[in-house]
Copies of this chain bind each other. A is one copy, B any other.
């Protein structure tokens, strides 16, 4: 079982070095420590284990090290920045694992951009050698990209010519959307196996500057210090304590969150309890985040997640009011992780529930919300529902439903009237209606549901983030499922083997 928790003291693949206000995050992948047996992580190539450490570092820097204002990502191997995702790992993984791996790495890179934009921790890629494929995509997630000027080091996206798949970790999208590389040059670049180096890399906007090897580190440090000197939010350090859930065959139990699994029915219950502790919001949403990752990677047969809450509406609204900036940013990211999780989510508003404020967002993010018509059952709009926890495109989840946020408590009739819930049932019908809805959902084609949810969950304006997940990832998933890539004679399957790939040449 993959563990998504780690700590700098246990990193195998990264070195985190703090020189406030700059942090150096150095990739030095241990070849012999893949997350699963069967391949070696050569040339600073990465797998999920490497990226779990990166995600941990990005999160810890934000919470535990507010004194850090710039983060330099560089390569710890001579003349190599990063060779991208390990191809043997990809070639030998199931379709589902490939898709979930790409999703996670995409989310990590978005977290770097989120830290740059909102936490005053500016990411800088110091490409001390060639940045290839996912290696260059890692650099693309940084605000600045510096390339060593040594006559040989290049940036490249060789996936299409060498592997028959896309640079799917945001590569194509960030080229044209973020760096504004002209689309015809992006086309040339994305089909050149050797990539682009030197002056042309700057002219094409692929990197921000070239730096000679002799003063590479020093020059990167100066530039990082200059970024670190710019204005940013003042914050206090917050420790990220271990979550260490108790895992059994039927459940994953955290302090405030429980994930209960009915493997036979392919239905899970995800319950969040309110709490009075000052760290409740941080802890509960970190637990939710971990539970979502486990749902994706460990419980791929689960079709439907019933989202429940237990506790006090007043308590949730009170802890919401005290939530600090970095905690709010985390909560929003976790909700967006839910948007991107290929499971159906039905929120269940029943007796003892507390769908208010931040927890109401869980219902608004769900595909449907069912509410019991009972005088004891209420939901509440609070201060965090008015844009503090933005969805993928910057809008509040209420705004995405065209509902005006007005703080207040709603009974079932009021919630239906305010367009906050999908359906209301009284005590007599409640259990049967829920049972039928859940069973029907779990009986549908899992692929069709994934496609439907990937469309309906993203109404309104698009952002770079939605374009990475909606457009780029959807095409990549298609390509991953096609014989030209993953068939017996597909180019990804045959990578590193003497046999030449055989293509079905029909363009579709």
Contact A479 B505 (CB under 8 A): no
Report A452-466 residues with CB < 8 Å from chain B CB.
452-462
Q: Which A181-229 residues have C-beta < 8 A from chain B?
A: 182-188, 190-191
Interfacial chain B residues near A475, Cβ < 8 Å: 450-451, 454-455, 474, 477
Binds B, one of A18-26, A158-166, A283-291: A158-166
Q: Which residues of B contact A182 (CB under 8 A)?
A: 401-402, 419
Q: Is the CB of A303 within 8 A of B99?
A: no
A274 on the B face (CB < 8 A): no
Interface string of A54-83 (1 = CB under 8 A from B): 000000000000000000000000000000
Is A96 interfacial (CB 8 A cutoff)? yes
Q: Please, which residue of chain B has its CB at the minimum distance from the CB of A461? A: B462
Inter-subunit contact A185/B471 (CB<8 Å): no
The CA of A369 and the CA of B184, in the complex, are separated in Å by 8
B508 touches A422 (CB 8 A): no
Shortest beta-carbon distance from A353 to chain B in Å:
17
Measured between beta carbons, the chain B residues less than 8 angstroms from A482 are 447, 481
CA distance A228 to B77 in the complex (A): 71
Q: Report the separation of the CA atoms of residues A368 and B184 in the bound assembly, to the nearest whole angstrom.
A: 5
Q: Which of A357-371 contact B (CB under 8 A)?
A: 366-369
CB-CB under 8 A for A188 and B485, given A164-B445, A266-B505, A455-B475:
no
In the complex, whether A342 has a CB less than 8 A from a CB of chain B is: yes
Contact with B along A482-498 (1 / 0, CB 8 A): 10110000010000000
Cβ of A308 < 8 Å from any Cβ of B?
no
Q: Is there contact, CB below 8 Å, between A454 and B471?
A: yes
Give A422's nearest chain B residue, CB to CB.
B184
Contacting pair B503 A446 (CB below 8 A): yes
Contact, CB under 8 Å: A471 / B446: no
* Residue A424, interface by CB 8 Å: no
**Residues of B with C-beta under 8 A to A461:** 462
Asked if A160 contacts B445 (CB within 8 A), the reply is yes
Closest 8 CB pairs of A and B: A164-B445, A474-B474, A451-B475, A172-B455, A462-B462, A478-B478, A176-B459, A184-B422
Does A302 count as interface, using CB distance less than 8 angstroms?
Answer: yes
Residues of B within 8 A of A1 (CB): none
List 6 additional contacts besides A166-B448, A303-B507, A455-B471; criterion CB under 8 Å.
A176-B459, A183-B367, A301-B506, A302-B507, A447-B478, A474-B475
